[in-house]
Structure formats: structure tokens, C-alpha cells
Amino acid sequence: MDPCRRKDTCSSANSWGVVVSHWDWEVAVDFPSKTLTCTATLDIRTLTDGVGSLILDCVGLVVSEVSSRESGESLAYQVKQLDGELTPCLDISLPSTCAKKGAELGVRISYKTDPALCAAVQWLEPSQTMGKKHPYLYTQCQAIHARSMLPCQDTPSVKSTFSAKVAVACELVALMGAERLGSEPHASNPTLTVFSFRQNVPIPSYLAALVVGALESKRIGPRSHVWCEKEMVEKAAWEFEETEKMLSAAEEVVGEYLWGQYDILVLPPSFAYGGMENPCLTFLSPSLLAGDRSLANVIAHELSHSWTGNLVTNENWEEFWMNEGFTTFLERRIAAKVFNEKERHLQASGQTQAYLYMQASKAKANNSTTPRTTLFFKEKLRAALGGIRTHDTLQSRQSALTH
């Protein structure tokens, strides 16, 4: 591996020499053991001559077999920790047919997740849901958790399309951040239903998203549904009824919405973020159901990511502030169109005040004499070393720096 060509210190993948252009994912969800049993078939293409291996990011994945889709032959592999790397990797030997630049291959990987190490997946007991009857699962891959559920080039500098089939218990519904292609009974197990998905817009791994639960939906616009447990459907549909207005306003500013559907998922209360911009399916905290639409601006923010972040993406995590900065800018442009210019200024002013207050508090705690400069560079250093800053901190900081 040529270290000079590395751009993302959070990934071990040799994406300078080979890229994953598409992944096909077959998943069986097992709640009692809290595991995903999966087969991932990666379409790879070499970018240079002489690439002998495919190195993927991988945390806690118990790999049972790796083979070539084309020939069926087994491919040698090793899970290992490279010196100086943040997390382990899966090193797969490529056949000699991949020696030349532009060679293509399907690499099939069979594996299970490890419930102790799979940070991407949150498993909820029935008691942690609103309905109290069924278990629930949701994923949060941003920033670098996708590698704990999928062997992948876990860097935002690589984007892939994907397709997926997810098998879940019949009483449950599976959704992904993708176009929904329908469901059918499992071919050999009558207790399971298989849901199919396709994402035709290439996405970085951190936008891979899955949710499984006793979910229901209600249409809230020509291209939007709200999804949640049935107890919350009506309330959520009312709260986010202005979604289409916001989507249309964004299109007036930055052009056509290219992802087809724009659905909203309202999660159980344990979801740790206000919102997550998973493609086609924004994940939202139920704390946004204020009953008066006063927090619906989060929708403006999350749908703005459909352009800034999801279509045009930071190359590595040190530059994540660009995702949030441009998104916050677009969120306010939507506010100006849907409400008025004063609302845009009010939002900007409010976030700036909150940011300055936060920085002053931190400076006091750190006993710093130059709070903003010191804190800024501390954050940059932490990111360069592989640390991940929080979504909200970045938005607030960017708000103050750009307003």
C-alpha cells in the first residue's frame, strides 16, 4: 500500500488500487441471538496494475467463506490488524485475472456479525418500544460503524450502488435507505418474509441503513411516507405534513431531487440523534414530535443532506464540517422560501448564539485564554487522529463560522 495515496486515516481499505462499485447484500435477522447472518457480494474494479489483494474494513465480522462469483473458487483471506490502523481489516487475495488495471470481479463473502462488537446495530427489546410486543432493530453507520455489519471500504471517498434482500420474522417489516421493491414469503422458511431493496444512486458506506420492527406507514406527500410504530403514525404524519413543501423549496435552490422517494422514519426514544440523513429514508428522533410542528425544521436539514452530503460528499472525516456547513446553509434557504426571510435570520441568529455560548462554556471548563482558536484546533487534531466529532457540535460550529 502506498501511504502517500491514502486520504482517509479512518479506513484501512486499499481504495487507491481497487474500488467496490456495487454490493449485493443477503441478510437474515435473528433477534434472539442479536446477529445478522449475511452474504455480501462485492463488484470490484481495479484502478491500477498489480493489485494483489482487496483490503476491506471489518470489525467483529465472523467470516466463514470468501469466493469468486464468476468461477466459484475460494479466495484466501485473513482478518488482521495492520500497524497504525484504527480497526482490523479483511485481506482477500485476488486471483491473477485481476492483475491488470480495469479488471472486474465479484467477491462473495459469507459472515455473521458479533453482537459484542457490532456497533452499527442497535437491538431493542419489546419493552423498549412503544407497542411493547415486538423487538426492534435500527442501524447507525455514520461515521465508521458500517464495517461492523458489512465488510466494506468504509471511507466516504468510495461510493457504491447496492441491492439487498432482508429476511425477518413475518410479523415485522424491514426498511432500508433505498427504493422499496416489495416483499415475498421466504422460499424455505414459512415464518420469514423477505424484503427487497435497490439503491441506484451510489452512496458511501456510512449511509447504509436498515431498520426492522412492527412498522406501519402513512402517505404524507406525492413522494413521501412517514414510517413508525402504529401508535405514533397519525401524530408523526401531522407533524411532518409540510415535507413536500420543503422538498420543493430545496429543488428550487439546488435542482431536482434524484433519489425517488423521500420517506421519514420516526424511531423509538433510544435513537441518539435528532436526525440521520439516510438516503430515501431520514431517521428521526420521536422527541421531534412536538405537537405544534415547531421542530419540523429538522426535516429541512435532513432532506437538504440529499444534495449536500449524500450526493456531494466529504472525502474524509476531517472535512465532515463541509457536509454540515452547506446543509445548514440550504436548510435556512428552505426556511426563507417556506416561511420568510426573517425566519432564515432568526434560525441563523439562534444557532450562532447557541454556538458562542457552548464555546464560552467549554473555554471556562478548559481554563483557556483563547477559547475559539484553541478548541478549533483541538477538534481538528482529534479528527486527524481518527476521532469522531458529534453531528450537533459541527453544525453549531459551522453555523457561527459561516453566518
Residue 301 assigned to a binding site? yes
Strands 192-203 and 160-169: antiparallel
For residue 305, say whether it is annotated as part of any ligand binding site.
Answer: yes
Q: How far is CA 145 from CA 104, 153, 282, 347, 402, in A?
A: 27, 11, 18, 31, 30
Q: Which is nearer to Zn ion, 91 or 324 (CB)?
A: 324
In three state form, how does the secondary structure of 204-224 look?
A: CHHHCCEEEECEEEEEEECCE
Please identify, using beta-carbon distances, which residue of 25 and 138 lies nearer to Zn ion: 138
Each residue 20-59 as x (binds Zn ion by CB under 5 A) or -, in order, gives: ----------------------------------------
- How many residues are listed for the chain in this entry? 403
- Beta carbon nearer to Zn ion, 56 or 276: 276
Closest CA to 167 of 191, 187, 189, 194: 194
CA 42 to chain centre: 18
Residues 138-157, interacting with Zn ion (CB under 5 A): none
Give the shortest CB-19-to-Zn ion separation in angstroms. 26
In the sheet that 281-284 helps form, which strands lie side by side, from edge to edge? 215-221, 224-229, 263-266, 281-284, 275-276
C-beta of residue 201 within 8 angstroms of C-beta of residue 261: no
Smallest separation, CB 149 to Zn ion (Å): 22
Q: How far is the CB of 301 from Zn ion (least distance, A)?
A: 6
Q: Which residue has the cell 420469514?
A: 192
Binding mask 319-338 for Zn ion (x = CB under 5 A): -----x--x-----------
Contacts of 288 (CB under 8 A, 6+ apart): 239, 266, 274, 275, 295, 296, 298
C-beta of 374 vs 393, nearer to Zn ion: 393
Rounded least distance, CB 226 to Zn ion, Å: 20
C-beta neighbour count of 84 within 10 angstroms? 8
Least CB distance from residue 277 to Zn ion, whole Å?
Answer: 6
Task: Quote the least distance from Cβ 254 to Zn ion, whole Å.
Answer: 15
Rounded distance between C-alpha atoms, residue 249 and residue 107, angstroms: 42
Q: Which is closer to Zn ion, CB of 77 or CB of 283?
A: 283
Other beta carbons within 10 Å of 321: 21
- At residue 10, φ and ψ (nearest 5 deg) are -95, 0
**Contact string 272-311 vs Zn ion (x = CB under 5 A):** ----------------------------------------
Contacts of 394 (CB under 8 A, 6+ apart): 320, 321, 324
Q: Grid coordinates standing for 197?
A: 431493496
Residue whose C-alpha is closest to residue 270's, from 132, 134, 172, 138: 138
Residues touching Zn ion: how many (CB under 5 A)? 2
Cβ closer to Zn ion: 55 or 330?
330
Cβ 218 to Zn ion shortest distance, Å: 25
Work out the end-to-end distance of the chain between its first and last CA atoms, rounded to an integer number of angstroms.
Answer: 42
Instruction: Mark residues 53-82: x for contact with Zn ion by CB under 5 A, - for none.
Output: ------------------------------
> What is residue 308's DSSP assignment?
B
The dihedral of CA 7, 148, 142, 21: what is its sign? Answer: positive
**Closer by beta carbon to Zn ion, 108 or else 333:** 333
Asked if residue 391 belongs to a known ligand binding site, the reply is: no
CB of 305 to Zn ion, least distance (A): 6
Mark the segment that binds Zn ion (CB under 5 A) among 35-43, 168-176, 202-210, 317-325: 317-325
Of 161-169, 292-300, 316-324, 350-358, the window that binds Zn ion (rule: CB under 5 A) is 316-324
Report the site for Zn ion in 169-228 (rule: CB under 5 A): none
Of 67 and 395, CB closest to Zn ion: 395
- In the complex with Zn ion, which residue's Cβ is closer, 43 or 277? 277
| Least distance (Å) between residue 278 CB and Zn ion | 12
Binding residues: 301, 305, 324
Contact residues toward Zn ion (CB under 5 A) are 324, 327
Binding residues for Zn(2+): 301, 305, 324
